[in-house]
Structure 1
Amino acid sequence: MRDTWGFIDTGILDAKVNMAMDEMLLHWHSEGKIPPILRFYQWAAPSLSIGYFQKVDKAIDEQALDRYGVPLVRRLTGGSAVLHDDELTYSITLTEDKPYIPASVGQAYYILSKGVFAGYENLGMSVEYAETKKFDKNRSAVCFEKPALYELMANGKKISGNAQTRQKGVLLQHGSIPRTIDRTMLFDLFKFSNERVRERSRKSFDQKATTIHQELGQSVSVDAMKTAFKKGFETGVNIELVPFELTSEQWAEVYQLAEEKYGSLEWNFI
């Protein structure tokens, strides 16, 4: 029997509201107030999200953030920093005790990323999972420089990134599905030992990561992506998606959390 999830497209929001929304969806679901949720969203401006355990002062060039006007926000999830710009972002919130969700984080990634896999196929793209035997545990500070376990590849290059946490009996997974990547901005935002190393990393990036536009050689609208990946989650994860709407009171809670937590220096720069 297919499970039923709620589906919500929250559109374009700023970085702190996007992260507050994902946390509140986790919180409400843990209290049984909302069903499992698949959420699509975008970013009001190019934004850098960093993993929960990342140290800003070691990896990020704060002067470059100011120069580009890029807001920084810390995620609940781990992993490396992601520049969110020209992309579709998704999040999944559901209880850990679902019979189709393995206890293993890696296996859960595999099950849930079947929706992303099918979405790419719906766009006419051929993708594959990163080969686990060749998996490199030495993570880069830049998310798209190295694939993690069960992340998706196109022609041997990483094409999407995701991260996961489990709290209060609830699994939260969110991921980035880029149309294009601004390589100049991306590598300017990180610290390197010298400029030569920065430029070498920037130039080698094309051999490590790719995007939908690069692979298809043509422009794909965000609406087309939403259609493809929504259908992909339904078929790939074998679920039924039904429209879901937040109440005005729930939106107020999201904005309050955004200001008090995700807009604070204490949270983002710890």
Structure 2
Amino acid sequence: MTRTDWRDHDWQLIHTTPQSPSLHMALDDVLTHEVGAGRRRPTLRIWEWAAPAVVIGRFQSLRNEVDADAAERYGIEVVRRVSGGGAMFVEPGNTITYSIYAPQSLIKGLSFQEAYAFFDEWVLQALAELGIKAWYQPLNDITSEGGKIAGAAQVHRGGAVLHHVTMAYDIDAAKMLDVLRIGREKLSDKGTVSAAKRVDPLRSQTGLPREAVIERMVATFRRLHGLSDDAVRPAEQVRAEELALGKFSSTAWLADVP
């Protein structure tokens, strides 16, 4: 397998109506598989959230990461994704989440760190065009002078690589600390003011509506790499809905690492 470049591929864009947290987990699983099998062209998917969620990494302990009582009190669904990395606190309208489903040939020969940086280059350029000086912080963060902007995670499977990123557009730091145990431990001596400082949302940095930031990101990707509008296919949707109701909603999957 020889290494390919972005422009060697016919990139597709999926940006649809809000979906449930479990369906987002399932779509990542299905679309990565379809790209790996060669049935779908490499794809950029912009997520819209139908409900608040905490998304924990594949290898994280549910009990260590999440205060289940607080999550239930706020009506926050807890889901586990297929990739590693840390817990993400998500509220509709407060985050920008996207996935890239790419053939592994795109990052052939790159180390994990190089692959993360490679997949984040276009976003850094989009942010620069919005007046934000941001950079890649190994292993999986995008940060700025004001603080962390985004966290990424990756998984390789069946000839494809999934790279997904959640960016803070706006954030309720107090609620995040109520729900995420790890954040509470890291910041217990500094309080929620520090939590707000550690994550610097795009809203405060740009003054732009969330939709305008996404529009700039998509336009930058399109200009650099090419991008055609697409949608989730019926067969992909059916399979994702099956997985969302089964695997990704099951106690066995969520509590796999107790």
Structure 2 residue aligned with 1:264: 250
Amino acid at match of 1:119: A
State the percentage of identical aligned residues. Answer: 27
1:96 aligned onto 2:82:
no
Aligned with 2:57 (options 34, 51, 55): 51
Per-residue CA shift, 1:51-92, capped at 9, x if unaligned?
110001122111111111100110111111001121121000
Say if 2:187 and 2:194, in contact at 8 Å, map to a contact too: no
Aligned with 2:40 (options 34, 37, 43): 34
Structure 1 residue aligned with 2:192: 202
Task: Give the deviation of 1:156 after TM superposition.
Answer: 4.9
**CA 1:58–1:230: 2 relative to 1, 3 Å:** same
Q: Secondary structure at the match of 1:251?
A: helix
Structure 1 residue aligned with 2:211: 223
Structure 2 residue aligned with 1:158: 148
Q: Secondary structure at the match of 1:94?
A: strand
Work out the CA distance in 1 between the residues paired with 2:43 and 2:185.
43
Task: Give the deviation of 1:150 after TM superposition.
Answer: 5.8
Q: Secondary structure at the match of 2:204?
A: helix
Q: Secondary structure at the match of 1:160?
A: strand
Work out the CA distance in 1 between the residues paired with 2:32 and 2:134.
29
Work out the CA distance in 1 between the residues paired with 2:239 and 2:183.
42
Structure-to-structure mapping, 1:1-270, within 5 angstroms: 2-3=7-8, 4-85=10-91, 86-98=94-106, 101-130=108-137, 148-149=138-139, 151-191=141-181, 198=188, 200-216=190-206, 218=207, 220-235=208-223, 238-270=224-256
Gaps (5+ residues) in structure 1?
131-147
**CA 1:77–1:201: 2 relative to 1, 3 Å:** farther
Work out the CA distance in 2 between the residues paired with 1:89 and 1:197.
25
Q: How many residues align?
A: 248
Amino acid at match of 1:224: A
Work out the CA distance in 2 between the residues paired with 1:94 and 1:190.
31
Task: Give the deviation of 1:184 after TM superposition.
Answer: 1.1
Per-residue CA shift, 1:237-262, capped at 9, x if unaligned?
x4111112222222111111111111
Work out the CA distance in 1 between the residues paired with 2:83 and 2:216.
25
> What is the RMSD of the two structures over their aligned residues, measured on CA atoms?
2.2
Work out the CA distance in 2 between the residues paired with 1:40 and 1:196.
30
Q: Secondary structure at the match of 2:131?
A: coil
Work out the CA distance in 1 between the residues paired with 2:31 and 2:186.
43
Work out the CA distance in 1 between the residues paired with 2:186 and 2:221.
42
**CA 1:192–1:97: 2 relative to 1, 3 Å:** closer
TM-score under structure 1 length normalisation: 0.85
Gaps (5+ residues) in structure 2?
none
Amino acid at match of 1:68: Y
Work out the CA distance in 2 between the residues paired with 1:213 and 1:222.
7
Task: Give the deviation of 1:107 after TM superposition.
Answer: 0.5
Amino acid at match of 1:182: D
Say if 1:38 and 1:92, in contact at 8 Å, map to a contact too: yes
TM-score under structure 2 length normalisation: 0.88
Work out the CA distance in 1 between the residues paired with 2:199 and 2:185.
21
Per-residue CA shift, 1:17-64, capped at 9, x if unaligned?
011001100111121110001000121121100011000112211111
Task: Give the deviation of 1:117 after TM superposition.
Answer: 0.6
Say if 1:115 and 1:234, in contact at 8 Å, map to a contact too: no
